[in-house]
Amino acid sequence: MDKIYFKGMSFYGYHGVFGAEAELGQRFYVDLDLSLDLSRAGASDDLKDTVNYAEIFTCVQQIVEGERYNLVERLTARIAEKLLCEFPFVEVKVKVTKPNPPINGHYESVAIEMVRRREDFGS
């Protein structure tokens, strides 16, 4: 299976359980590992035979910046669901990193990663 990767997409969102997270917001990073058959695009060199990268970016941006969730787990699942519904991916791996969750301690970040397949959604 062929892959399209997005690494380090950066968005500002208002996700979190605590009031300050919803009020002040913070940066979130999203990585995608998208599986689909790219053989036709590889042969034709035509955009209609693949997916438009800008549309993928916009789809994720609208979710992270336009919707609000308490849990990063739900945000991650929502991105996966939307990508499988709107694009011809067979499988998506979505990783959402929250670099500054309100945890008292020293760490670089917290991240959630989910893998979902088209058949998980009956599509």
Contact 77, 114 (CB under 8 A): yes
The residues carrying an active-site annotation are 98
- Residue 29: count other Cβ atoms within 10 Å of its Cβ: 17
DSSP string, 18-51: SHHHHHH-EEEEEEEEEEE--HHHHHH--GGGS-
The third-level CATH classification (topology) of the domain covering 2-121 is GTP Cyclohydrolase I, domain 2 (3.30.1130)
Per-residue pLDDT of the chain in tens (123 residues, 90 and over written 9) = 999 999 999 999 999 898 888 889 999 999 999 999 999 999 999 999 999 999 999 999 999 999 999 999 999 999 999 999 999 999 999 999 998 887 788 888 899 999 999 987 655
